[in-house]
Amino acid sequence: MRPPLSRRSLVAVAGTVVGGALVLGAVHFTGGHAAPAGGNAGRPEPRAGLVSAPPVSFAGVTWRDYHSVLLPYSADGPRESGDGPTFGFARTPSGALLAAVHIVVRAHALWGPRVFEPTIRNQVIGPDVVVLLEATQHAYESRRGDRPFGEALGRAYMVLEGYRWLGYTPRAATVDLVTAGPGDSDVTVRAVARVQVRWENGDWRVLAPPGGAWGGSAVSVPSAEEYVRFPHGGGR
């Protein structure tokens, strides 16, 4: 029998599966209730040496459905995209932001190894890449049940609501991403996750989270009021 992937078991955002939830760190599904991910009492400190980024223009940005998640596309990226891995981001603040969103979403176990494995192998960097890949593979297998190997596990239930720069240079950037999804009793649950990107080999790539777990880089938040809201398809 396939383990059910209910709407409430896919709580806020993209990243890795923790206890059956779709997470970019701060909340996860535990026995029918959304709960804070452990071990993080507050937001991580920003990286030193980064400068403030200029505002990102969303003129010309379109939003497209990706397994029920609306993702932004523009002239700054991605250039190559489809159901699988995506790449080709401009060396601009907008390109860095788009890369952070697309790469982290596609590194999720829900979409199956044909998506998350090449995404993590080719677009995620740093000392914890192997740990992240192994954790994602384990999460996929633990939820696959009798599905054929490689088949996606289901759809996601999350909305990109906002972001806030911690800093940007043409070589590296750090951004907080806020996402929202349904928690227990239809209560909206929000998480803010810190994502670092670096420019390597002609494209932006995401730095693997410490210990290969997005939860170490994220916390729950009550609202997105302190963040720049994504227009249209994202934070409406």
- Each residue of 94-152: pLDDT tens digit? 999 999 999 999 999 999 999 999 999 999 999 999 999 999 999 999 999 889 998 98
* Domain presence at residue 54: no
User: What is the extent of the structural domain holding 72?
Assistant: 16-37+62-229
222 falls within a domain: yes
Q: Is the predicted pLDDT of residue 50 greater than 80, yes or no?
A: no
pLDDT in tens, 204-229: 999 999 999 877 777 888 889 889 99
Instruction: With respect to residue 126, please indicate whether it lies within any of the assigned structural domains.
Output: yes
Domain-located, residue 9: no
Q: Is residue 47 part of a domain?
A: no
pTM for the model stands at 0.80
Predicted confidence (pLDDT) at residue 199 exceeds the cutoff of 80: yes
- Res 214: pLDDT: 79
The predicted structure's pLDDT at residue 211: 92
**With 50 as the cut, is the pLDDT of residue 47 above it?**
no
In a domain, 177, yes or no: yes
Q: What are phi and psi of 75, to 5 degrees?
A: -65, -20
Cα 214 from Cα 190, distance rounded (Å): 15
Average confidence (pLDDT) over 19-34 = 34
Q: How far is CA 81 from CA 77, 95, 123, 134, 139, in A?
A: 9, 14, 13, 25, 24
- Asked if residue 218 is part of any domain, the answer here is yes
Number of folded domains that form the chain:
1
First-residue to last-residue Cα distance in the chain: 38
Residue 11 lies in a domain: no
